[in-house]
Amino acid sequence: MEEPRLDSLYQQLILEHYRAPKNKREMDDPSVEVHLANPVCGDEIRLQLKVEGDHISDVSFVGQGCSISQAAVSMMTALLKGRSLSEADSLAERFKEMMHGDEAASKDRAMGDLRALAGVSKFPVRIKCALLGFDALQQAMGKAGSE
Ligand code: ZN
């Protein structure tokens, strides 16, 4: 699939996360894990969370797919450790706003490296790639809350 043309600085940041992803490892004893795929592009991730009380004490993932999907998960995990479940959910909602073209969200410092993905909002087919990690996160938190 053709890669969207993004600002070159952002493109570089995306490739850095793709080549050297954060938190890409298998966790020994996750509280919850979710496996999600985006068959349109061939992206796949398994997200693992360790939840203690109402906080995410650890997060990891394994997966494969396009640079946008894998970089987005890496960027997401870099922001999650130590966050409360409600903070993590807010981040997910903020990211979705950014994928819908919300300019304020794309400039929100709380989004960290995820801001590099703002340009993806112009490529509807690729939005699913970028959202895969947060979709898995929200499903995982739903599971964690119901156990
Ligand atoms: Zn993809």
* CA 69–ligand 1 middle distance (angstroms): 5
Domain of 68, CATH number, reads 3.90.1010.10
The range of the structural domain enclosing residue 72 comes to 2-146
Say which residues have a Cβ less than 8 Å from residue 89's Cβ, sequence separation at least 6. Answer: 138, 141
What's the total number of domains in the chain?
1
* CA 88–ligand 1 middle distance (angstroms): 23
pTM of the model: 0.93
Least confident span in 19-28, 97-106, 137-146: 137-146
User: Which residues lie at CB < 5 A from ion ligand 1?
Assistant: 41, 43, 66, 69, 129
Q: State the pLDDT at residue 7.
A: 73
Please give the residue that has the higher pLDDT: either 3 or 16: 16
Q: Which of 142, 60, 74, 75 is nearest to 114 (CA)?
A: 75
Instruction: Give the separation between CA 85 and CA 9, rounded to whole angstroms.
Output: 31
